[in-house]
């Protein structure tokens, strides 16, 4: 069974059709990158997957479980799907360690001591063993994003959604976050990643989707999409991203 399955979803804001019949599937352990110009519906698509946004038509399912923002089951589903945001969204009033413990302790009811130990080892895994007691304001953007990834991992998710995880970072901090994501991918984590990092997509993704005007224009292996795009819009977009001047 597919871990993430999106069937023909559509969503409009007034007259504007943000998603216009999008379907995609992500298998267990698969890494799928979504690329596309801003305003193409990438983030909206991702946010429909864990019910942060509602959709008007179609169907979204996680591990066979239908996702509906209004249903009671949404909380349980969200607890099984991690999400990493562009702006990190760490809880500013809690330390790095507390941020990572928050979900396991308060959503899953894990004993504090066990959760603390696991949170510490997850922070060590993302290279922040020395920052356990630091508040987010004292961390760089790259460090904050790595805490956010550890926070998502702490829930032992079936999949993680990444919403432009490096777009808010200074260029020299992008690498440290991508490295952590690469490690996760190699370990077999199921990942759906909205990104502008073509290098990451080329190296890590099993499949790349090109989204434009709320539709999937082209889809294939990174080699197919990035090196030899069939569609003119894809070529245009890649040219603009890779050679901006």
Partner 1 sequence: MQAFLRDAQDFLPILLKGCVVTVELTLGALVLSTLLGFVWALLRLSPTRVLSLPAIGIITVIRGIPILVQLFYIYFVLPDLGIQLSAFQAGIIGLGIAYSAYQAENFRAGIEAVDPGQIEAAQSLGMRPALIMRRVVLPQAIRVFLPPYGNTMIMMLKDSSIASAITVAELTRGGQLIAASTFKNMTVFTLVALLYLAMSLPLTYLAHRLERAFGRK
The answer to whether residue 102 forms part of the interface with partner 1 (CB under 8 A) is yes
The answer to whether residue 219 forms part of the interface with partner 1 (CB under 8 A) is no
The answer to whether residue 52 forms part of the interface with partner 1 (CB under 8 A) is yes
Q: Which stretch binds partner 1 (CB under 8 A): 36-44, 77-85, 114-122, 179-187?
A: 77-85
- Are residues 45 and 22 in contact, defined by beta-carbon separation less than 8 angstroms? yes
The answer to whether residue 55 forms part of the interface with partner 1 (CB under 8 A) is no
The only residue of 41, 103, 142, 229 in contact with partner 1, by rule CB under 8 A: 103
Kindly state the tokens that stand for 10: 């559509």
The answer to whether residue 147 forms part of the interface with partner 1 (CB under 8 A) is no
> What Cα–Cα distance (Å) separates residue 99 from each residue in 91, 92, 179, 235?
6, 9, 21, 41
Interacting residues with partner 1 between 115 and 144 (CB under 8 A): 137
117, 123, 129, 131: CA torsion to nearest 10: -110
Q: Which is nearer to partner 1, 83 or 198 (CB)?
A: 83
The answer to whether residue 164 forms part of the interface with partner 1 (CB under 8 A) is no
What is the rounded distance in angstroms from the CA atom of residue 94 to the CA atom of residue 232?
48
Question: In b/e form, how buried is each residue of 16-39, taking b as 16+ CB within 10 angstroms?
Answer: ebbbbebebebeeebbbbbbbbee
Q: How many CB atoms lie within 10 A of CB 75?
A: 10
The only residue of 2, 12, 89, 140 in contact with partner 1, by rule CB under 8 A: 89
The minimum distance between CB 169 and partner 1, in angstroms, equals: 16
Kindly state the tokens that stand for 120: 């510490």
The answer to whether residue 50 forms part of the interface with partner 1 (CB under 8 A) is yes
Q: How many chain residues are in contact with partner 1, going by CB under 8 A? A: 27
Q: Which residue has the tokens 């952590």?
A: 180
Q: Which is nearer to partner 1, 1 or 137 (CB)?
A: 137
Residues contributing to the site for partner 1 (CB under 8 A): 50, 52, 75-83, 85, 87, 89-93, 102-103, 106-107, 137, 148, 151-152, 155
């Amino acid at each position: 069974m597919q871990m993430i399955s999106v069937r023909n979803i559509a969503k409009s804001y007034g007259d504007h059709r943000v998603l216009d019949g999008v379907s995609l599937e992500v298998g267990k352990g698969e890494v799928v990158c979504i690329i596309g110009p801003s305003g193409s519906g990438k983030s909206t698509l991702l946010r429909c997957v864990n019910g942060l946004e509602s959709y008007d038509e179609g169907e979204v399912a996680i591990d066979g479980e239908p996702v509906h923002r209004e249903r009671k089951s949404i909380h349980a589903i969200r607890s099984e799907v991690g999400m990493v945001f562009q702006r990190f969204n760490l809880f500013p009033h809690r330390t790095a360690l507390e941020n990572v413990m928050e979900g396991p302790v308060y959503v899953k009811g894990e004993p504090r001591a066990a959760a603390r130990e696991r949170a510490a080892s997850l922070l060590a895994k993302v290279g922040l063993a020395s920052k356990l007691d630091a508040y987010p304001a004292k961390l760089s953007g790259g460090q904050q994003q790595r805490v956010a990834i550890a926070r998502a991992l702490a829930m032992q998710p079936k999949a993680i959604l990444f919403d432009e995880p490096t777009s808010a970072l200074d260029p020299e901090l992008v690498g440290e976050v991508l490295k952590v994501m690469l490690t996760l991918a190699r370990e077999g984590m199921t990942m759906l990643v909205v990104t502008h990092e073509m290098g990451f997509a080329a190296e890590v993704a099993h499949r790349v989707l090109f989204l434009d005007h709320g539709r999937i224009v082209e889809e294939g292996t990174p080699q197919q999409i990035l090196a030899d795009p069939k569609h003119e819009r894809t070529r245009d977009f890649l040219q603009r991203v890779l050679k901006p001047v």
